[in-house]
Structure 1
Amino acid sequence: MSQVPAAEDTTTPFSELQRPLQITGTRPETFFISRRANLTFSLLLLISCYSAILIPAYLPVQKTDIRDSKHPKDLVLLNFSAAVLSSPCQPQWWLSRLQPLSCSVGLLNIPVFVQQEDLLWERPPPLGLQGSEVHLALALASLPQHALPLAISEEGRCRRCVVVGNGGILHGSYLGSHIDQYDIIIRLNNAPVPGFQRDAGSRTTIRLVYPEGAPSSAEEYKNTSTVALVVFKSLDLEWLTSVITKQPLSLWSKMWFWREVVEEIPLRPENFRILHPEIIHKTGQALQKYAVKQGNMVPTLGASAVVMALQLCDHVSLAGFGYDMQHPEARLHYYEEIRMDAMKAQVVHDVSAEKLFLRDLVAAGAVTDLTGAL
């Protein structure tokens, strides 16, 4: 019987299994790293992961400017504004709503612009024109017209006013096209229009200014019907006469303004007026009811413009009013980067009293707050 050849032994000795895998051409002692090197590498990897997560949190984040946004920041306010415009205009809408308020005493039938026959010598500027007789006479002589402009004084027409404040709340509102639909659009000092039409509109019926606050760019006076001077000192009347007559101010006069003033405004003489100081005076008296300290109070142009609007229009709306003092990082003005905490530095106006005053007007329905910050 033939002998079957023995099968080839293919098993691997146990001692061979204990050897580490060796790659051809690589020495086993160089393939594996040491324990110390492994610990170092692990620590570096851990630090890198934490850095990737934590460091970006401390880097400045680029904020999106609302001017670059393609959408309004508050569709509710935009829809509310549209509803206000679409409602029928009712003559003397605000009158019955204002009368029950304690602050309403003296706010009715105030003259808006200074006339030739006015006697205003009981109080000094800005509450009167005491001591400014000569300057007033020269300013009035340079004005062809003193009364309300024809477009405003037209009788039998129900008019809507909007007072456009300078507040940062207007920024990103997309209310510009709505503002342009009002009959009378009132603006304050050098609040810009070009470049901000989307939020602030493009037309101006009355711009209230004092010399140091008047816009310096000729572009700002386009689509402007009337510039009304608010007199804070006798020299302001001299400035107005200079602007209208094109006769430059003396170097001595220029020295008394607290900042450089514009010397030319590209409007005709009939486009200028002088705000009646009773507007300032009566507004200040109304604010006394909300003030902690009593005394002659100088209101802001914004509060004064609201009282002026009540004399001119049947419906009065506000846009860009309300200082958010609880958030110092909020934008102060719609056209610049200054923040709300800058208001703490001013000591001339009582903005807290003004906010309470305007809030009462809104709550009573005498005026409408389009931007909702009051």
Structure 2
Amino acid sequence: MQIVDYELYAVPPRWLFLRIETSDGLIGWGEPVVEGRTHTVRAAVEELMQTYLLGKDPMRIEDHWQTMYRGGFYRGGPVLMSAIAGIDQALWDIKGKHYDAPVYELLGGRARDRIRVYQWIGGDRPSGVADKAREKVEAGFSALKMNATAELERVDNPAAVTEARDRLAAVREAVGPEVDIGVDFHGRVTKPMAKRLATALEEYDPFFLEEPVLPEHNDALPQIAEHTSTPIATGERMYSRWDFKEVFEQGVVDVIQPDLSHAGGITEVHKIAAMAEAYDVAMAPHCPLGPIALAACLQVDAVAPNALIQEQSLDIHYNETSDVLDYLADPSVFEYHEGYVDIPDRPGLGIEPDLEAIEERAGHGEWHNPVWRHADGSVAEW
């Protein structure tokens, strides 16, 4: 069996799908994308496919991963690792279909039957969160996530901290103590403001504080952790086990959030999860993406004993034109019950993308995150 062809589809709202075909007719799907950098990642996937993977045996996944990563002098980073991730997902999909087994069976078998999911509320500049929280809890979700703030100054005024605290207080009052509320700093908060916010929000028992500072400032995480007992989460902008090594050794991160479309795919995140388990760190894969990325996440969640909860993008604020279920032949595979989703048990990734719907919408997946500015005209972190 050989890899004989591939196709890439940029689809709304901001996703890139990869279809790999083999000589015996098996099809594998992956989701290689950096949101807002579709053209760049497409070129990286094409380069890997054209210069290396076409004509190769798709079953040798580990060897292909090592070659794609180590075969170039320059390694890592979001573009290359996202390209590798999507290809890796598609190869696992093919391998599972070849053996007529879900990917989790090839990774050692399930450690769970289902995984808890959380629902986003509030948008980039969070508002109306209490009402949205009530609505999502009534729909059956027991865990929510919201942005902590809009843009902040490097050292902002007390009102900015009070607004963030009051916003979380309103959600906590709306849903009560039995619902978990993740609070995402989104890397838009500097170290001094992260310390103040961590202290101010603790009273309302956040589930975790996500990406309190940008990963290039992970050395500040121990200082931030001193200001709160709330679990610290990070990892969506970390792309390999080597990136995660430092935070494991620091001993202050409680939840890692690797993205299976950015951090090298199933092969790499399975290894990152095992490393995390050795440090008593939970995993909650980042996934504000499409159905293929979510299916890949669930296959790793199935076999990772330390998987805590799964992000998913149904009804997320980015999905203005298309949503996760729009590209599936059978959307019931992602039905949520009591805040959980079952692990898909069909061969490969466990889903069947709707090729007709994908081809219909292909070419309309352009998206770029907004550029925010402070009052003085300087660029703010989004």
TM-score normalised by the chain length of structure 1: 0.33
TM-score normalised by the chain length of structure 2: 0.32
Largest Rg, 1 or 2:
1
